[in-house]
């Protein structure tokens, strides 16, 4: 069984590397005529260099992660971690939390050199990075604390449910699904704004024509703008974005300061109209309930793993261990998640087309097209992605298709 798990991991890695290589080669295709004004020659070659750096980095990082996972499995490191953390306490819940906390700490420490190189070498070399060493360190520490605290609460709760319903698999699956769904709704409705403010500074958008036009647009569509904020995204990157938060018709608008810096008012308004299109079409709610529906598959998979003690003994453990069950779940579910991504991403791309069309109707197609070209140019977007990459990973349509649909 151990070798089957390792084979699945290796097969997924090999497949993803083939897709990455195809996508990397696809960057050399001729850029479609409608996109040729996005990059001038200098910017185009800069994009090629950036694409090459990201490709190499991704392949190396993914390869290192697989090698380390293989080492953990082959040399019985997971087994030793379980034995060590089980000696720290008699509580099954705390044993799982100590085990996963130790593993997560190792992953964070392993990831720091990679994240440092990506931020201060790749992103900096191509003009994206504005992150200081202080911000970089703070982000890692804050992210680690949030993962340990929130992850610990969620996993501890699920472990408690398993101990309460371990003799009734379907009760455990349904109760776990309900609990995770409630947590997801709370994060979506309330906590996401809190998390964003832990890492970023929000300041009110000053009075002026941009603010007035945003409020007028939202009001004409029946939305009440509770607040308009500018987020200091430029302290980390030059990349552009904007989004809405809030439930129902009451919304908060958040603009990256880089978006205001790089786009005209007409283009910003087109981007916000696109986001309002998602709200009008209930896309955010659809995606939330879509994820909640998928979670029942996660809960069922974890439940089935917990009902198979031979899986754990194959890795040298003496019996079922909730913490290790979660690691097995993530390893075994990888190929299924790739397949699930096909319909999920297809629905998402369809929603993006509809939101683009909504923006064109509320503002003007030329402004949305112009905004998409600015986003492509500033973020060094791949203008010729491989179709298989789009099919598997793209939640947004390729830029050529989006602009073609708007023309």
149: confidence class by pLDDT, cuts 50, 70, 90: very high
Mean pLDDT within 141-153? 91
Q: CA 139 → CA 108, 187, 196, distances in Å?
A: 12, 19, 12
- pLDDT category, 55, cuts 50, 70, 90? confident
Instruction: Say if residue 96's pLDDT is above 70.
Output: yes
Same domain, 48 and 175: yes
Q: Do residues 191 and 231 share a domain?
A: no
Domain boundary among 280, 298, 326: 280
User: Does 298 reside within a domain?
Assistant: no
- Is the same domain home to 128 and 216? no
Mean pLDDT of 93-108: 95
**Number of domains within the chain:** 2
| Per-chain mean pLDDT for the chain | 89
User: Confidence class of residue 366 from pLDDT cuts 50, 70 and 90?
Assistant: very high
142 in Cβ contact with 199 (< 8 Å): yes
pLDDT at 151 over 70: yes
Residue tagged active-site, from 79, 275, 283, 378: 275
Comparing 82-91, 122-131, 235-244, 284-293, the range with the smallest average pLDDT is 235-244
pLDDT at res. 379: 83
Specify the pLDDT at position 240.
81
Distance CA 146, CA 142 (A): 6
Domain membership of residue 89 as a residue range: 2-199+309-406
252 plus 167 within the same structural domain: no
pLDDT, tens digit, 9 for 90 and up, residues 222-273: 887 777 888 888 888 877 888 777 666 667 788 888 888 888 999 999 988 9
End of a domain among 231, 264, 280? 280
273 lies in the same domain as 328 = no
Average pLDDT value for residue range 77-84: 93
Q: 318 and 265: one domain?
A: no
pLDDT digits (tens, 9 = 90+) for 294-347: 999 889 999 999 998 998 998 889 889 999 999 999 888 889 989 999 999 999
Residue for token pair 């923006």: 359
**Rounded to an integer, what distance in angstroms lies between the CA atom of residue 313 and that of residue 114?**
34
Q: What confidence tier does 183 reach under pLDDT thresholds 50, 70, 90? A: confident
Buried-exposed string 347-358: b where 16+ CB fall within 10 A, e elsewhere = ebbebbebbbbb
pLDDT digits (tens, 9 = 90+) for 29-54: 888 999 989 988 888 888 888 888 88
Same domain as 216, residue 185: no
Query: pLDDT band at 205, cuts 50/70/90?
Result: confident
Question: Per the domain annotation, does 288 fall within a domain?
Answer: no
Annotated catalytic, 275?
Answer: yes
- Out of 283, 352, 356, 378, pick the active-site residue: 356
Residues 7 and 73 in one domain: yes
Residue 53 lies in a domain: yes
Same domain, 187 and 246: no
Question: Cα separation of 365 and 376, whole Å?
Answer: 16
pLDDT, mean of residues 196-212: 85
Q: Which residue has the higher pLDDT, 1 or 177?
A: 177
Is residue 218 located within the same domain as residue 362?
A: no
Domain contains 287: no
Task: Return all residues near 43 (Cβ < 8 A) that are at least 6 apart.
Answer: 377
CATH number at residue 253: 3.30.2010.10
Residue 297: inside a domain = no
Is 122 domain-assigned?
yes
Asked whether residue 104 carries a pLDDT value surpassing 90, the answer given is yes
Cα-based distances in Å from 259 to 29, 339, 357, 402: 29, 34, 21, 20
Mean pLDDT, to the nearest integer, of 125-149?
89
* 189, 250: one domain: no
For residues 116 and 13, state if they share a domain.
yes
Per-residue confidence band for 191, with pLDDT thresholds at 50, 70 and 90: low
- Of the candidates 344, 324, 343, 342, the one whose C-alpha atom is nearest the C-alpha of residue 332 is 324
- Where does a domain end: 280, 301, 330? 280
- Annotate 138-162 with b (16+ C-beta within 10 A) or e (fewer): ebbeeeeeeebeeebeebbebbebb
Is the residue at 294 inside a domain? no
Q: What is the pLDDT of residue 237?
A: 80
pLDDT reading at 95 higher than 80: yes
Confidence of residue 114 (pLDDT cuts 50, 70, 90): very high
Residue 155 in domain? yes
> Among 56-70, 184-198, 233-247, 363-377, whose mean pLDDT is lowest?
184-198
Q: How far apart are CA 95 and CA 93, in angstroms?
A: 5
Half-sphere exposure of 186 (CA within 13 A, CB side): 8
């Amino acid at each position: 069984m151990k070798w089957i798990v390792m084979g699945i991991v290796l097969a997924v890695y090999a497949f993803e590397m083939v897709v990455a290589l195809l996508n990397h080669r696809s960057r050399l295709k001729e850029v479609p005529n409608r996109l040729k004004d996005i990059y001038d020659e200098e910017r185009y070659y800069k994009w090629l260099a950036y694409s090459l750096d990201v490709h190499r980095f991704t392949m190396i990082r993914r390869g290192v992660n697989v090698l380390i996972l293989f080492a953990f499995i082959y040399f019985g490191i997971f087994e030793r971690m379980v034995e060590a953390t089980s000696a720290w306490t008699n509580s099954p819940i705390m044993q799982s939390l100590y085990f996963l906390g130790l593993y997560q700490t190792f992953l964070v420490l392993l990831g720091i050199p990679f994240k440092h190189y990506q931020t201060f070498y790749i992103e900096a070399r191509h003009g994206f990075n504005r992150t200081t060493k202080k911000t970089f360190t703070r982000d890692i520490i804050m992210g680690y604390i949030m993962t340990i605290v929130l992850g610990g609460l969620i996993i501890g709760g699920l472990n408690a449910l398993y101990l309460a319903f371990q003799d009734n698999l379907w009760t455990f699956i349904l109760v776990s699904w309900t609990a995770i769904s409630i947590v997801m709704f709370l994060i979506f409705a309330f906590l996401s704004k809190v998390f964003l403010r832990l890492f970023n500074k929000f300041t009110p958008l000053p009075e002026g024509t941009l603010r007035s036009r945003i409020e007028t647009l939202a009001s004409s569509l029946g939305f009440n703008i509770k607040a308009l904020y500018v987020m200091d995204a430029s302290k980390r990157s030059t990349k552009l974005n904007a989004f809405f938060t809030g439930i129902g018709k009451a919304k908060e608008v958040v603009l990256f300061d880089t978006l205001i810096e790089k786009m005209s008012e007409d283009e910003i308004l087109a981007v916000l109209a696109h986001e309002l299109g998602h709200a009008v079409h209930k896309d955010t709610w659809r995606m939330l309930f879509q994820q909640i529906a998928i979670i029942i598959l996660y809960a069922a998979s974890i439940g089935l793993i917990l009902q198979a003690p031979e899986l754990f003994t194959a890795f040298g453990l003496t019996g079922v261990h909730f913490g290790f069950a979660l690691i097995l779940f993530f390893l075994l579910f990888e190929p299924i998640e790739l397949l699930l991504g096909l319909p999920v991403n297809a629905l998402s791309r369809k929603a993006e087309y509809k939101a683009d069309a909504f923006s064109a109707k509320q503002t003007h197609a030329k402004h949305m097209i112009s905004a998409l070209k600015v986003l492509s140019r500033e973020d060094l977007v791949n203008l010729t992605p491989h179709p298989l990459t789009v099919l598997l990973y793209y939640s947004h349509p390729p830029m050529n298709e989006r602009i073609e649909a708007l023309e």
